[in-house]
Amino acid sequence: MLTPEQIESKLDRILLKVEKPGRYVGGELNSCIKDWDSVQAKVALIFPDIYDIGVSNVGLKILYDQINQRDDALAERAYAPWFDMEDLMRANEIPLYALESKRPLACFDLIGFSLPYETLYTNALNILDLSGIPVRSADRDETHPIIIAGGHSTMNPEPMHAFMDAFVIGEGEEVIHDIINALMSLRAHSAKQSPDNAGLLRRGDASTSLSARPPRNDILRALAAIPGVYVPKFYEVAYMDDGTVSHIEPTIPEAPKIITKRMVAKLPPPPTKFIVPNIGIVHNRVSVEIMRGCTRGCRFCHAGMITRPVRERSVQEVVDAADEAIRSTGFEELALMSLSSSDYTHVKELVDAISKRFEGRKLTISLPSLRIESVSVDLMEKLKQHRSGGFTLAPEAASERMRRIINKYIPDEDIINTTREIYRRGWTTVKLYFMIGHPSETLKDVQAIADLCKRVLDEGRKVIGWKAKLHAGVSTFVPKPQTPFQWVSCDTRENILEKQALLKRELFKDKNIKLSWTKPDDTLLEAWLSRGDRKLAEVIYSAWKNGAKFDAWDEGRKHEAWIPAFAEHGLDPAFYTHRQRRTDEVFPWEHITAAVRKNFLFQDFRMSLEGQIRVDCRLNCFACGILPTFANLRRENPGDAWKCPDVKSPNKSVVSEQLTVVGG
Amino acid sequence: MLRIRITFAKQGALRYTGHLDLHKLWERAARRADLPLAYSQGFHPQPKISLASALPLGFSSCCEVLDLRLNEEMPLDEIGTRLKDNLPGGIQVLNVESVDERAPALQTQVVSAEYQVNLTEAVDRSDLKRKVNEIMSAESLPRERRGKKYDLRPLIEELALTPSEERGAKVFMRLTAREGATGRPEEVLDALGIPADTARVERTRLLFSS
Ligand code: SF4
């Protein structure tokens, strides 16, 4: 394996030939470089997109801090090299390396991928390959790192089951320690068993620590026993004749029948020492998570369903963290993050405290995901937002029928009144986000989007005249696993194109309306993978072999790589996208749960068909399944931070039988 | 208002940070260090930071200079310590001094720059020496860069091989660095027939008028 010095000298010869070489050299403020030989567990954290996107990812930053706070472990980072860099790395035989120590990824003990969205899958394969690590889990042996993945897309891990050794389901803050501890205790154990290795263990020089690694299968068995960790090789999937899943069974006693997500009962202090890149990136900002989870229950929303329960941080904690983070980074922008800012209990107090604390400092503050009501305009005004940036609201649908179906019910009048107020208070641009492709949507519902946009702008013109502008961002809905819409069919390419044509026809006429949309190819790719099964692993592999990577980018190869890959394995993409699931269908992700019960989701799906609204569950608990699963945690953490009701009943152990699901 | 002149080294990973990004880097460093940085007036206030001379990407330097303006008085050594604690590893503050507020803009004062080049591959020293002599005795050196023709020779003030104990060689050069008349080390290396990826260039001195 190449030494860091060898890698650096090879890099020096190629870096000036690539666009933005600063992506590949590390050296950022707040990055953490530890003495390699004095820690036992070495972890590489990977965001499989380019540096410019990955470096500001908060999820990985949390893990980076969690691991580096330990004396016995270190975490370093790597991202996907852009096309130009990859070509040069391959031509010069430079393996992918971690930015901190410049050591090849292959000499780490553990590699953790963040997979928030499906279009990163081919990049993950490519990164393993660039690191000289076998892409398939089955081909790896004791000399290779353990490869794990986490992030929202792993709520259905099956399409990637062949490539990852293990998946983390749910939140990573606590489970990452369980994983590292398991790894270290197994190693200590195997060192005791074979005394020759003991001496080598203490000083983890790359080559020697490899020889001390315990049998891979032992490690994976130990990981399978950790709650919230899914090791796919210990599960067998049987299929029905129609290609759907018949059942999924664990093959070893350590592996639970159902893997329930991990959830941290009390949010740990937010990270403040963000990496400060030495080159321009996409989001140069400090992000402070004000709360996790969402109680709104929008039926299309993957994040809202899988991140329950709602846990809020205190105003004081948020303000202090923001202050410290701005001090330690010098960034000029602060984002207060959550899925639904207006629902944060003390949002007014928060905004007051933040604007007071940062008064007079040159800082842009954003508070995304505000409800459509005039209070939101007051809040933004207090944050002294640059009016030039536009004001963003997300009605998601424009007809009464659709709003009931998706459970995001906002009357037109509220939208008109709020946007009128926005224009009146000095913003010239209103940005409205919609989605097309919701279940049972017709052209009439899409027409309503165009009509609403025009009406909003007309009203705006009455207030500020021809200065008024509107930006309509219309994405396409992709049905996601673990949501009430996991049963529905996704729009076909023809449907999507027809709906987009309507919007273009209607909205292009006004030059003060800007329309943006998602390409159907991108939507379909996401849709295949979101609800894919194990069979898709071969398709992903072939697509990658056909050149697919950077699937979220226009520069990436798309359908010319994917369609032949489906054909090669005799699979029909429409099976995954354009098929209404049977009500008793066993899903490929049946053994994974976000602790929201399948029959709750199904009931919600039925309600959607009948146009029935479910109100915010802060007002009325609908027993989605979170409380029985996490009853003990709730009991130990009573009070205001959680937005689920308190649990007072005496301790009783919660068994996974309570999660029994329809068709399960 | 206080005008501060900082001399700093730019090395390691920071060699790959360009001119505009370096501006941003100093702005953030000043903010982290809690220096009362002055901003321009107007709709988009810009911090009052000016860098003497852009350093090409990939070069290291032990002599970069910038001016920044502060709204309040502050002891120089305190500015130095505060900055040291708040800069990434590749940037080192070498000197902090105050300059007359009315002195001309820093960029207009630079006249020449010196570079030390380490060659990472073995070279034929006598051949290289001959080429150096050829260049120095030439009347003109017509070249083309980005489609524009120009004469490199008048921009070279000094060019010499320096003794080196290793099998490689070191080249020293002093090039004109005035606005609109800036000699580029990689152009000189090219004229010497040295491939860019076998040369490590460090800027060692900036020369100012007066
Ligand atoms: S348990 Fe009740 S309050 Fe908590 S998330 Fe589920 S429905 Fe909402």
A118 phi/psi in degrees, rounded to 5: -70, -25
Q: A312-351: buried (b, 16+ CB within 10 Å) or exposed (e) per residue?
A: bbebeebbbbbbbbbbbbbbbebbbbbbbbbbbbebeebb
Residue A326: list chain B partners with CB under 8 A.
Answer: 31
- State whether B16 and A26 contact (CB < 8 Å): no
DSSP state of B163: -
**Percent of chain A residues past pLDDT 90, beyond the cut:** 88
Tell me which residue in B13, B31, B39 faces A330 most closely, judged by beta carbons. B31
Contact A57, A47 (CB under 8 A): yes
Q: Is residue A31 part of a domain?
A: no
Cα separation of A361 and A339, whole Å? 27
Cα separation of A115 and A127, whole Å? 13
Residues of chain B with pLDDT under 70: 164-168
Binned at pLDDT 50, 70 and 90, residue A195 comes out as low
Q: Are residues A239 and A383 in the same domain?
A: no
Q: Is residue A63 part of a domain?
A: yes
Residue B56: list chain A partners with CB under 8 A.
Answer: none
pLDDT (0 to 100) of residue A202: 40
Within a 10 A sphere around the Cβ of B34, how many other Cβ atoms?
11
SS (H, E, C) A558-571: CHHHHHHHHHHCCC
Residues pairing with B60 in the sheet = B202
Q: From ligand 1's centre to the CA of A343, what distance in Å? A: 15
Residue B140: closest CA among B132, B150, B127, B128: B150
What residue ranges do the domains of chain B occupy? 2-103, 109-208
Q: Are residues A73 and A214 in the same domain?
A: yes
Tell me which residue in A21, A29, A328 faces B88 most closely, judged by beta carbons. A29
Question: A334 in helix, strand or coil?
Answer: strand
Opening angle at CA A284, ends A73 and A517, nearest 5: 110
Q: From ligand 1's centre to the CA of A173, what distance in Å? A: 22
pLDDT (0 to 100) of residue A20: 96
pLDDT exceeds cutoff 50 at A449: yes
Query: Tokens representing A37?
Result: 């030989």
Question: Structural domain of residue A318, as residue ranges?
Answer: 285-387
Residue A661: closest CA among A627, A623, A625, A613: A625
CATH number at residue A305: 3.30.750.210
Residue A569: closest CA among A540, A527, A604: A540
Task: Assign domain B2-103 one CATH number from 3.55.50.30, 3.40.1390.20, 3.30.70.580, 3.30.460.80.
Answer: 3.30.70.580
A249 phi/psi in degrees, rounded to 5: -130, 135
Gyration radius from chain B CA atoms: 19
- Residue A271: asked if its preceding bond is cis (omega within 30°), the reply is no
Q: A276-290: buried (b, 16+ CB within 10 Å) or exposed (e) per residue?
A: bbbbebeebbbbbbb
pLDDT (0 to 100) of residue A385: 59
Does A4 touch chain B if contact means CB atoms closer than 8 Å?
A: no
Which tens digit of pLDDT belongs to each residue from A136-166? Answer: 999 999 999 999 999 999 999 999 999 999 9
Residue B128 C-alpha, separation from nearest chain A C-alpha, in angstroms: 21
Q: Is residue A369 part of a domain?
A: yes
**Which protein residue has the closest C-alpha to ligand 1 atom 4?**
A644
Which tens digit of pLDDT belongs to each residue from A278-304? Answer: 999 998 899 999 999 999 999 999 999
- The pairing of beta strand B60-70 with beta strand B2-10: antiparallel
Contact A237, A159 (CB under 8 A): no
Instruction: Look at the block and give the residue holding tokens 């009701």.
Output: A645
Q: What's CA B174's distance to the chain center, in Å?
A: 12
Q: Is residue A113 part of a domain?
A: yes
pLDDT (0 to 100) of residue B180: 85
Q: Are residues A218 and A149 in the same domain?
A: yes
- Residue A626 CB–ligand 1 contact under 6 Å: yes
What average pLDDT score do residues A327-342 get?
95
CB burial of residue A390 (10 Å; 0-12, 13-18, 19+): middle
Residues pairing with A396 in the sheet = A434
* First CA to last CA distance, chain B: 23
- The pairing of beta strand A469-476 with beta strand A429-436: parallel
Does A13 touch chain B if contact means CB atoms closer than 8 Å?
A: yes
Query: Tokens representing A628?
Result: 């029985």
**How many domains does one find in chain A?**
3
Which tens digit of pLDDT belongs to each residue from A117-144? Answer: 999 999 999 999 999 999 999 999 999 9
Q: Is residue A55 part of a domain?
A: yes
Boundary-marking domain end, from A353, A372, A387: A387
Q: Give the pTM.
A: 0.94
Q: Is residue A466 part of a domain?
A: no
Looking at A182-317, which runs of residues are DSSP E strands?
229-230, 235-239, 245-250, 259-260, 286-289, 291-292, 311-312
Q: Where do runs of H (alpha helix) occur along A21-135?
A: 51-54, 58-68, 83-91, 121-130
Q: Which DSSP string corresponds to B36-88?
A: -B-B--SSS--B-EEESSPPPTT-EEEEEEEEEEESS---HHHHHHHHHTTS-
**Longest pairwise C-alpha distance within chain A:** 83
Does A276 touch chain B if contact means CB atoms closer than 8 Å?
A: yes
Cα→Cα distances A656→A155, A179, A418, Å: 17, 22, 45
Tell me which residue in A13, A17, A278 faces B13 most closely, judged by beta carbons. A278
Which tens digit of pLDDT belongs to each residue from A34-73? Answer: 999 999 999 999 999 999 999 999 999 999 999 999 999 9
Given CA atoms A352, A354, A356, A361 in this order, what sign does their dihedral have?
A: negative
Of A313-322, A516-525, A552-561, A585-594, the poorest mean pLDDT is in: A552-561
pLDDT (0 to 100) of residue B194: 92
Tell me the CB-side half-sphere exposure of residue A479, using CA atoms within 13 A.
23
What average pLDDT score do residues A74-100 get?
98
CATH number at residue A155: 3.40.50.280
Cα separation of A625 and A627, whole Å? 6
- State whether A27 and B14 contact (CB < 8 Å): yes
- The pairing of beta strand B91-98 with beta strand B49-51: unpaired
For domain B109-208, the CATH superfamily is Pseudouridine synthase (3.30.2350.10)
Q: Are residues A49 and A165 in the same domain?
A: yes
pLDDT (0 to 100) of residue A207: 43
Does A8 touch chain B if contact means CB atoms closer than 8 Å?
A: no
Q: Is residue A128 part of a domain?
A: yes
Q: What is the mean pLDDT of chain A?
A: 93
Q: From ligand 1's centre to the CA of A151, what distance in Å? A: 22
Of A501-515, A605-619, B103-117, B151-165, the poorest mean pLDDT is in: B151-165
Residues pairing with A334 in the sheet = A286, A365
- State whether A278 and B25 contact (CB < 8 Å): yes
What average pLDDT score do residues A461-486 get?
97
How many residues make up chain A in this entry?
664
pLDDT (0 to 100) of residue A196: 55
- Residue A622 CB–ligand 1 contact under 6 Å: yes
Q: Are residues A118 and A207 in the same domain?
A: yes
Q: Are residues A104 and A218 in the same domain?
A: yes
Opening angle at CA A210, ends A206 and A211, nearest 5: 125
Amino acid at B164: S
Opening angle at CA B87, ends A65 and A13, nearest 5: 90
Within a 10 A sphere around the Cβ of A629, how many other Cβ atoms?
24
Boundary-marking domain end, from A260, A276, A299: A260
Residue A545: closest CA among A578, A568, A528: A568
What average pLDDT score do residues A483-492 get?
97
CA dihedral A544, A545, A546, A549 (to 10 degrees): 30
Residue A3 C-alpha, separation from nearest chain B C-alpha, in angstroms: 17
Q: What's CA A431's distance to the chain center, in Å?
A: 24
Which tens digit of pLDDT belongs to each residue from A349-404? Answer: 999 999 999 988 878 899 989 999 888 989 988 887 566 678 999 999 999 999 99
Residue A453: closest CA among A426, A421, A429: A429
Instruction: Look at the block and give the residue holding tokens 């120095």.
Output: B136
pLDDT exceeds cutoff 80 at A211: no
Within a 10 A sphere around the Cβ of A142, how many other Cβ atoms?
14
- The pairing of beta strand A291-292 with beta strand A311-312: antiparallel
Higher pLDDT, A504 or A653: A504
DSSP state of A18: S
- Residue A617 CB–ligand 1 contact under 6 Å: yes
Boundary-marking domain end, from A339, A360, A387: A387
Contacts of B126 (CB under 8 A, 6+ apart): none
Residue B25: list chain A partners with CB under 8 A.
Answer: 278
Nearest CA in chain A to B31: A330
Element housing A605 (H / E): helix A598-609
Cα separation of A91 and A306, whole Å? 42
Does A28 touch chain B if contact means CB atoms closer than 8 Å?
A: yes
Cα separation of A312 and A293, whole Å? 9
**Percent of chain A residues past pLDDT 70, beyond the cut:** 94
Cα separation of A348 and B125, whole Å? 73
